[in-house]
Amino acid sequence: MNSDPRAENQPTADSGHNVVLVGIDGSDQARHALERALEEARAQDLTVRLLGAYPVIGVGDPGLEMRFTEAVMKENAGHLAEARQTVEQAGLPVEVVEAGGDAAKAVVEQSGEAALVVMGKRGRGGALRGRLGSVSAAVAAHAKCPVIIVPEAAETRSPERHPERRGGSAGDFALEADGPVKADQIDFTGRVVVGLDALGSRSPALGKAVAYAQEHGKALALVSVNGALSGTPSWFQDEFNQARYFHEADQKLTQISDEIAAQHPELTVEHHIFVGRPARILMNATHSADMVVVGSRGIGGFRGLLLGSVSQAVLENATGPVMVVPAHRP
């Protein structure tokens, strides 16, 4: 008989990258993230891997340290057992991992073996401050695979209930064939929205957005945002830059749309061109989109879009799920 009660819960060496990793800390947000992870596991045929991280202290008193460690390990094991039961009741394969120490580090390390990470936007506070939910932004920035951050359970997808979070302003608008349209009038319901930068069709975020839209039977919406132009006087935009920017961006997005349609004829693809602040535009899209996909790093967009520099702002204010896709690293 194995003397380590955790040994049977550890993932096997041949698990590969066919897992969706979800952080478990006993919070409502962790439960909400688990629900999302179950959806992703079904859609992508993945195993659910539950990760519970517990804090480790060093106070110079071995007895106190032991009692503390035993208490937090017991609590952590209880949260994991509850989550495991939920996954098993859903009829999905499950793995359990326990880790002592920093939660963000544990998730990032495990992300190298996962196809996807799902985390809650917030976690537990109080004595357990620093656990999983509170480190979601750090995980999104450093994970080795795409990360889906689900909004707080108390958040609503109805912008009318949180007018201060609509994300639109007088300076944010979409350039359509018929002229400017207010940014917050664009409805992305049933769509996967992806912000594009200068990488265009080579963007890792675009590839993941296409795959996600296919797996979930959603339409794909390509978004280009000109942040530099929004800082110029309106008369300058109207008389000089607006038409030129629309023409250039429309040509690039049309070409990308055609490439996607040729490779994936079953996928509905549309594109939208905005003038405004990229973070605000993409955050506004979270009010209605099924998923908003951004890159963890950017290289500049069609005249100024830096997705990497705004992804954290989008995560902080999003009212819908956001997927952050890591940039290619050498």
* Each residue's pLDDT tens digit, 238-263: 555 667 777 888 899 999 999 999 99
* pLDDT number for residue 56: 81
Query: Is there a domain that residue 166 lies in?
Result: no
pLDDT at 14: 41
Tell me the C-alpha distance between 320 and 292, whole Å: 8
What pLDDT was estimated at residue 230?
52
For the chain, what is the total number of helices (H) and then of strands (E)?
Answer: 9, 12
Q: Dihedral of the CA atoms 137, 318, 245, 328 (nearest 10)?
A: 30
- Collapsing DSSP states into helix, strand and coil, what is residue 112? coil
Highest mean pLDDT among 58-67, 178-187, 215-224, 314-323: 215-224
Q: Which residue has the higher pLDDT, 117 or 316?
A: 117
Work out how many domains the chain is built from and give that number. 2
Are both 49 and 133 inside the same structural domain?
A: yes
Are 193 and 291 in contact, with CB atoms under 8 Å apart? yes
**Which pLDDT value is given to residue 171?**
63
> Which residue, 84, 115, 150, sits at the end of a domain?
150
Phi, psi of 190 (to 5 degrees): 75, 15
pLDDT at 8: 41
What pLDDT shows up at residue 167? 47
CA distance 148 to 22: 10
For residues 311-318, average pLDDT: 83
Q: Are 47 and 18 in contact (CB under 8 A)?
A: yes
**Most confident stretch, 64-68, 279-283, 319-323:** 319-323
Last-in-domain residue among 95, 117, 150:
150
Summarised one tens digit per residue, pLDDT across range 154-177 is 554 444 444 444 445 556 777 776
Could you tell me which residues come within 8 angstroms of residue 296 by beta carbon, excluding any fewer than 6 positions away? 140, 141, 142, 143, 308, 311, 324, 325, 326, 327
Q: What is the pLDDT of residue 41?
A: 97
Query: Where does a domain end: 150, 181, 214?
Result: 150
**320 and 190 within one domain:** yes
What's residue 298's pLDDT? 47
Average pLDDT over residues 51-61: 82
Tell me if 303 is assigned to some domain.
Answer: yes
78-114 tens-digit pLDDT:
999 999 999 999 999 999 999 988 888 999 999 999 9
179 in the same domain as 114: no
Q: Read off the tokens for 222.
A: 């390509």
Residue 163 lies in a domain: no
Mean pLDDT of 23-41: 93
pLDDT score for 10:
47
Residues 136 and 194 in one domain: no
Q: Can you give the pLDDT at residue 18? A: 93
The pLDDT, as a whole number, for residue 198 is 61
> What is the per-residue burial (b if ≥16 Cβ within 10 Å, else e) of 215-244?
eeebbbbbbbbbbebbeeeeeebeeebbee
Q: Which two structure tokens, joined as six digits, stand for 245?
A: 């920017």
More confident of the two residues 159 and 222: 222
Name the least confident of 35-44, 186-195, 209-218, 291-300.
291-300
Residues 6+ apart with CB under 8 A from 86: 34, 38
| Residue 141 and residue 179 in one domain | no
Same domain? 110 vs 192: no
Question: Does 198 lie in the same domain as 92?
Answer: no
Do 146 and 179 lie in one domain? The reply is: no
Q: Please, what sign has the CA dihedral across residues 248, 252, 274, 175?
A: positive
Query: Domain containing 188 — which CATH number?
Result: 3.40.50.620
Q: Are residues 44 and 129 in the same domain?
A: yes
- The 3-state DSSP class for residue 106 equals helix
Specify whether the CB–CB gap between 116 and 145 falls below 8 A: yes
Asked, for residue 279, whether it belongs to a domain, the answer is yes
* pLDDT attached to residue 302: 38
Residue that is written with structure tokens 């539950």 in the block: 50
Rounded to 5 degrees, what are φ and ψ at 31?
A: -65, -40
- Same domain membership, residue 234 and residue 298: yes
Q: Does a structural domain hold residue 4?
A: no
CA dihedral sign of residues 250, 255, 260, 265: positive
- As a whole number, the mean pLDDT across the chain is 79
For residue 38, what are its two tokens? Answer: 């179950």
Percent of the chain with pLDDT over 90: 44
Cβ-proximal residues to 88 (8 Å cutoff; 6+ apart), any chain: 94
More confident residue, 58 or 68: 68
Q: What is the pLDDT of residue 199?
A: 62
Domain that holds residue 94: 19-150
